[in-house]
Amino acid sequence: MTTWGYLGFQDSASPLMEQLTFFHDHTMVVIILIMSFVGYMMGSLFVNKYINRFLLENQNIEIVWTIVPAVILVFIALPSLRLLYLLDEVNNPSVTLKAVGHQWYWSYEYSDFVQVEFDSYMVPTVDLSDDGFRLLDVDNRTVLPMNTQIRVLVSAADVIHSWTVPALGVKIDAIPGRLNQVGFMINRPGLFYGQCSEICGANHSFMPIVIESVNVDSFLGWVSALAEE
């Protein structure tokens, strides 16, 4: 999760987030080069002693400063479009999770298993353990297997919410009466925190998301224990 020392993204936990990070770095290099060049040109104007009072236009310069930005935009747009379609792709999921937003908590249902569903509420500060994270920990974590293609179906029961887990590169709106889907694969074990990212009312800040990534055997054991309860 993000701490005070972070200036960039959270450490990625999925191939999608890795690609988002790479695209961010690629774009930042282009932006820094452009800003450096423009800054140099603007700074040189203050010390330039040469003046041409009869310069009205220069066709060659206008051609260059039209073509060069167009080429730069292509170098940014092509990776962006590739990533956009990659984020929308849901490839043969092995596990399907249904997440429904409520005011103000999330409910989850594992559609591949019988009677595996639960509500996930934020743990109040007074009940928080010493190693817990304030406003981020929940009473029932969402357990998912790593190295497995996962599909999440997202909807809402009342108003618009947004199911967001930054470390996984996932952000999808939960809209009443509509079913949105997103696919991802977690490539390492751990706890990954998220929050509702759509202002949904007075307790918008108090409906966090916690994904617990475990191996497949531990996940199946957890599902079996939950189904027997």
Say how far apart CA 11 and CA 38 lie, in whole Å: 32
Q: Are 79 and 23 in contact (CB under 8 A)?
A: yes
Partners of 184 in beta bridges: 150
Q: In this predicted model, what pLDDT tens digit does every residue of 187-214 receive, in sequence order?
A: 999 999 999 999 998 999 999 999 999 9
What average pLDDT does this structure show over 61-71?
A: 90
Q: Are residues 204 and 103 in the same domain?
A: yes
* CA dihedral angle for residue 72, residue 74, residue 79, residue 83, rounded to 10 degrees: 130
Mean pLDDT of 183-190: 92
Contact by Cβ (8 Å): 192, 165: yes
Residues 107 and 56 in one domain: no
- The model's pLDDT over 82-136, given as tens digits with 9 standing for 90+, comes to 888 888 877 788 899 999 999 999 999 998 887 788 999 999 988 888 888 888 9
Whether pLDDT at 160 is above 80: yes
Question: What pLDDT does 163 receive?
Answer: 95
Q: Where residue 172 falls among pLDDT bands split at 50, 70, 90?
A: very high
Statement to judge: residues 59 and 166 lie in one domain: no
Q: In a 10 Å sphere around its CB, with 0-12 CB exposed, 13-18 middle and 19+ buried, how is residue 228 labelled? A: exposed
The boundaries of the domain holding residue 45 are: 15-88
- Same-domain check for residues 83 and 100: no
Count of structural domains within the chain:
2
